[in-house]
Amino acid sequence: MSHEQTLTRVRDHVRQTILLSAIEQALGWDERCMMPQQGGEYRAEQMTLLAGMIHERNTAPQLGEWYAELAASPLASDPHSDTGATIRELKRNYDKQVKLPKSLVEELARATVRGQQIWQEARAKNDFKSFQPVLTEIFRLKQQQAAAIGYEKDAYDALLDDYEPAAKTAEVTKVLAGLRDELVPLVAQIRDCGRAPDVSIVERRFPVDAQERFGKAAAAAIGFDFQRGRLDVTAHPFCTTLGPHDHRITTRYDEQFFNSAFFGILHEAGHGLYELGLNTAEYGFPLGAAISLGIHESQSRLWENFVGRSRAFWQHFYPAAQREFPEALAKTKLDDFHFAINDVRPSLIRVEADEATYNLHILIRFELEQAVISGQLKVADLPGAWNEKYEQALGVRPPSDADGVLQDIHWSAGLIGYFPTYSLGNLYAGQFFAQADRDLGGLDAQIARGEFTPLREWLIDRIHRHGQRYTATELVQRVTGRPLSHAPLMKHLRDKFGALYGLS
Amino acid sequence: MSHEQTLTRVRDHVRQTILLSAIEQALGWDERCMMPQQGGEYRAEQMTLLAGMIHERNTAPQLGEWYAELAASPLASDPHSDTGATIRELKRNYDKQVKLPKSLVEELARATVRGQQIWQEARAKNDFKSFQPVLTEIFRLKQQQAAAIGYEKDAYDALLDDYEPAAKTAEVTKVLAGLRDELVPLVAQIRDCGRAPDVSIVERRFPVDAQERFGKAAAAAIGFDFQRGRLDVTAHPFCTTLGPHDHRITTRYDEQFFNSAFFGILHEAGHGLYELGLNTAEYGFPLGAAISLGIHESQSRLWENFVGRSRAFWQHFYPAAQREFPEALAKTKLDDFHFAINDVRPSLIRVEADEATYNLHILIRFELEQAVISGQLKVADLPGAWNEKYEQALGVRPPSDADGVLQDIHWSAGLIGYFPTYSLGNLYAGQFFAQADRDLGGLDAQIARGEFTPLREWLIDRIHRHGQRYTATELVQRVTGRPLSHAPLMKHLRDKFGALYGLS
């Protein structure tokens, strides 16, 4: 059999696994958006069956032989060629999956199901102690996972790699530290400057049907294709892909708060645009798949914050907003509205945080989870350490663990190494947006005219269409000519909030 | 291995197949209710993969050995015991499936996909000739299917059995002929009596949101459990089951016509109530599955027509309807509304037919498809024969094949032997409803008080909870003490329309 024939066999095998994964996504979407309350138990059985089938296909021994052959063949000699990148990424994932003992995978599945249940109750009762044993167990299993996968320097590398492939803890630490050193003083300066927007503007009555219409119109305007996607309501919004031409975004509406649904829709539409921009002929294969959670988040943050929270965006959209929400906005000036949607305020809850302080919330989690994985911090000491760090970074101290260390689902679900991808997304977004601004000759004027196509096409051309051909690190270098830095994001924040808050 | 152990292995095997079928249902529901326009191609690949997996599991040779052993064992000695009925029905389905050559299954799949495409165009262009070749091919393949399955007297028996297991053409012909002999004169009498309702009452403006609210309230009132189900919009309404506690009904709204959505919802909710009433512990197995399409249709028709179109039902619901639709109904009297929703009028289109004439539409199709399968009628002669029969039975003659022989999708999809189950459903419904009325001491008064629980529980107890323990024929005998007859349905129609139309 020639190497080409082996590759064809691999692709036939993987194509079927991708189909099963798409089915899994469809059932997951249904579960979160549509399924009647009592449907959950049987749905869980379906998901378990599919997960087992997918795992079995993903770890089939035959694949290992094929990948070994292909990796040593001329087809893989250029790691950035079509076949080279495909073989490289498929093999990388396979090698990781077969390193995990089945018993560990099952233990983790059980512990995280229990973990999420216990976490939910613990948060409701503000009772960290009841959560501590299962969280300790989860961290212990994640340490085992890191050991099974292997790492050079930091055990945390092996976990981070699940969400941000090839990223290294030391590098992420360095770039985020650079960000923190400049961000903490900026946030303090904003807090102490004596100016603040009238946030009551976005807390008036915004009827849900108008929010839906306006949000869909904005998503369509930036390029989300409703022939290839849809928007629905869910409790915890997300974006998911059910096939090369089936992308579903979700939101939730609060009639008394404009920001949550509108910027949520732009955020998820940004994720959706990335998926829509991938190579559909390679759907599910490395050349047609997203690089990393950080790059994914850069696309959502770019549309949500860099575009959606800009003054230029509202120059274009504010008249339509005033027509859709006459009761709330007819008498409100554009500048007051724009200031209100850009309120910066140190707070306790990550998911409600603004564009500037958000990254400080992430930094805290990143430092804490690293410390636990490396053995420097005990799970029992997490609440105290958490509160200390909030005091230092944001000047606020959680009155309770429910508003502190218990607020996020991630650790209970075993998602350790996930948090930094949120901030990496903001950093990538800052660097990409600055580059696009240079390449396209000033985005502000285009955005103010409602012209989003040049930016969207730039993103497709520079980022989306490559799939996983390059690692995130390579891609940033390739697109912007330099490695990832905190400087573009900080410049954006300083320029924007400097003007809004009248900072010197 | 003991027979009990063999049965356990069978159940483990079948349970996983049932899970895959439920997944297939979920994807099918999504396709018809939710999927974005361009998602179809990839969804079709998912459906093909699942269909192949299910077929392979359903025809696994190991199953044949297990069934042979079990059928000869004491576990199967009583065909109505839990194990006896389970083995009987599983084996029956297996034996049928393995009789069909794979090549025929594939040819049928291809021909019916093509058939539906060509039919759609042919109907739009009123061009039977373009449909004739593929329809001829489909009938030829269905004759082959009947030959492969085998039959005693009528080839049609083998096809009917797919939808109404164990039913015999000769018996169905007899009972439907009895119905026709009395129904044709009744319809003629109504047509010629000189009275007619003011149908403009149901053609006023009925806002869609009010229709949805009112329809859901009625579905909930008769017992459709929205914790275990939901209602959505689709082009061709249906009811589907995604799990033991996940039943989805669908409808479509016409703002200018009250009947289509409201009675459609009651109809689909009736199907849903049957599924809700099945034994959930045996979900998907014979003891937890519907007997036949005819019995299924009896449940939808019972709630739609016998309950929903009764005067008693509107005694209870009309005040609420007037509140929901004040513009349309505030000044309309209950009796005029009740007469308007019971308009009887010979017409061309089956899906728009009323409770009385509907069965004549079915009879025509039943006779024609039998004649083609038995070789007495050529496909080329279908349009002429169709028009003749409409003239005779209903006194109307289609001005075009689009309004005649091309109106239904069924034949193009290979659904031959399916039509009679619609009329069987009406007959079963008539006989069950009359029995329930006797057993429960007069349903009218209960319905007029909005008390639907006794009837629903009677249906669960007598029909739903048995699953496939009895055949439809056995069940009717068991529940009503006599074999299926046209008499109860005719009595119902005569009583109801006699009063409404003032017939002597």
DSSP A282: G
CATH number at residue A206: 1.10.1370.30
Show which of A99, A134, A163 is a domain's final residue: A99
User: Mean pLDDT for chain A?
Assistant: 97
Work out how many domains chain A is built from and give that number.
2
Whether residue A504 has pLDDT greater than 90 = no
| Residue whose token pair is 């044993």 | A133
- Looking at the fold, whether A87 and A205 belong to one and the same domain comes out as no
- Looking at the fold, whether A94 and A217 belong to one and the same domain comes out as no
Q: Flag if A227 and B36 touch (Cβ within 8 Å).
A: yes
Q: For chain B, say whether A50 makes contact (Cβ under 8 Å).
A: yes
A178-182 LR contacts (CB < 8 Å, sep 24+): A178/A485, A178/A486, A179/A359, A179/A363, A179/A423, A179/A427, A179/A486, A179/A489, A179/A490, A180/A359, A180/A360, A180/A363, A180/A393, A182/A486, A182/A490
Q: Give the pLDDT band (50/70/90) at residue A1.
A: confident
Given the residues A268, A297, A367, A369, the one annotated as active site: A268
CB pairs under 8 A between A and B: 96
Determine, yes or no, domain membership for A168: no
Determine, yes or no, domain membership for A315: yes
The Cα–Cα gap between B367 and B389 comes to 10
H/E stretch holding A230 reads strand A229-233
Of A35, A38, A245, which has the smallest distance from its Cβ to B42's Cβ?
A245
The Cα–Cα gap between B126 and B129 comes to 9
Show which of A70, A99, A128 is a domain's final residue: A99
Q: For chain B, say whether A230 makes contact (Cβ under 8 Å).
A: yes
The Cα–Cα gap between A312 and A279 comes to 31
Q: Give the pLDDT band (50/70/90) at residue A502.
A: very high
Residues of B within 8 A of A36 (CB-CB) are: 226-230, 245-247
- Looking at the fold, whether A93 and A211 belong to one and the same domain comes out as no
- Looking at the fold, whether A295 and A443 belong to one and the same domain comes out as yes
Closest CA to A472 of A258, A202, A32, A165: A165
Q: For chain A, say whether B23 makes contact (Cβ under 8 Å).
A: yes
Whether residue B363 has pLDDT greater than 90 = yes
Residues of A within 8 A of B23 (CB-CB) are: 23, 27, 46, 50
Determine, yes or no, domain membership for A458: yes
Order of strands across the sheet that contains B239-243: B229-233, B246-251, B239-243
Determine, yes or no, domain membership for A389: no
- Looking at the fold, whether A95 and A211 belong to one and the same domain comes out as no
Determine, yes or no, domain membership for A251: yes
- Looking at the fold, whether A91 and A230 belong to one and the same domain comes out as no
- Looking at the fold, whether A204 and A339 belong to one and the same domain comes out as yes
ipTM of the shown complex: 0.93
Of B20, B43, B227, which has the smallest distance from its Cβ to A36's Cβ?
B227
Q: Flag if A283 and B36 touch (Cβ within 8 Å).
A: no
Whether residue B504 has pLDDT greater than 90 = no
Closest residue, chain A, to B241 (C-alpha)? A39
- Looking at the fold, whether A222 and A84 belong to one and the same domain comes out as no
- Looking at the fold, whether A90 and A235 belong to one and the same domain comes out as no
Cα–Cα distances in angstroms (integers) from residue A133 to residues A64, A140, B388, in the given order:
38, 11, 79
- pTM for this one? 0.94
Q: How far is B258 from chain A (nearest CA, A)?
A: 24
Assign A305 to helix, strand or coil.
helix
- Looking at the fold, whether A206 and A94 belong to one and the same domain comes out as no
pLDDT digits (tens, 9 = 90+) for B100-137: 998 999 999 989 989 999 999 999 999 999 999 999 99
User: What is the span of the domain harbouring residue A65?
Assistant: 3-99
Determine, yes or no, domain membership for A359: no
Say which amino acid occupies B368.
L
Q: For chain A, say whether B35 makes contact (Cβ under 8 Å).
A: yes
Q: Flag if A36 and B229 touch (Cβ within 8 Å).
A: yes
Show which of A99, A126, A143 is a domain's final residue: A99
Find the angle CA(A173)-CA(A175)-CA(A178) to the nearest 5 degrees.
105
Strand stretches in A39-163, DSSP E: none
Cα–Cα distances in angstroms (integers) from residue A463 to residues A442, A459, B159, B244, B312, in the given order:
19, 5, 56, 45, 66
pLDDT digits (tens, 9 = 90+) for B276-320: 999 999 999 999 999 999 999 999 999 999 999 999 999 999 999
Determine, yes or no, domain membership for A26: yes
Order of strands across the sheet that contains A246-251: A229-233, A246-251, A239-243
Cα–Cα distances in angstroms (integers) from residue B281 to residues B286, B288, B289, in the given order:
11, 7, 11
Q: For chain B, say whether A242 makes contact (Cβ under 8 Å).
A: yes
Checking DSSP bridges between strand A239-243 and strand B229-233, what pairing results, if any?
unpaired
Of B20, B41, B243, which has the smallest distance from its Cβ to A42's Cβ?
B243
Q: How far is B191 from chain A (nearest CA, A)?
A: 46
DSSP A287: T
Q: For chain A, say whether B57 makes contact (Cβ under 8 Å).
A: no
Residues of B within 8 A of A247 (CB-CB) are: 36
The Cα–Cα gap between B65 and B72 comes to 11
Q: How far is A230 from chain B (nearest CA, A)?
A: 7
Q: Give the pLDDT band (50/70/90) at residue A369.
A: very high
pLDDT digits (tens, 9 = 90+) for B413-437: 999 999 999 999 999 999 999 999 9
The Cα–Cα gap between B168 and B395 comes to 30
- Looking at the fold, whether A95 and A203 belong to one and the same domain comes out as no
- B490 token code pair: 């005719």
The predicted model gives A178-185 an average pLDDT of: 96
Checking DSSP bridges between strand A246-251 and strand B229-233, what pairing results, if any?
unpaired
- Looking at the fold, whether A93 and A217 belong to one and the same domain comes out as no
What values do phi and psi take at B304, rounded to 5?
A: -70, -50
Determine, yes or no, domain membership for A450: yes
Residue A153's CB: how many other CB atoms inside 10 A?
9
The Cα–Cα gap between B286 and A185 comes to 70
What values do phi and psi take at B283, rounded to 5?
A: -50, 125
- Is residue B457 annotated as part of the catalytic site, yes or no? no
* Window B:286-345, CB contacts with A under 8 Å: none
Given the residues B24, B164, B268, B369, the one annotated as active site: B268
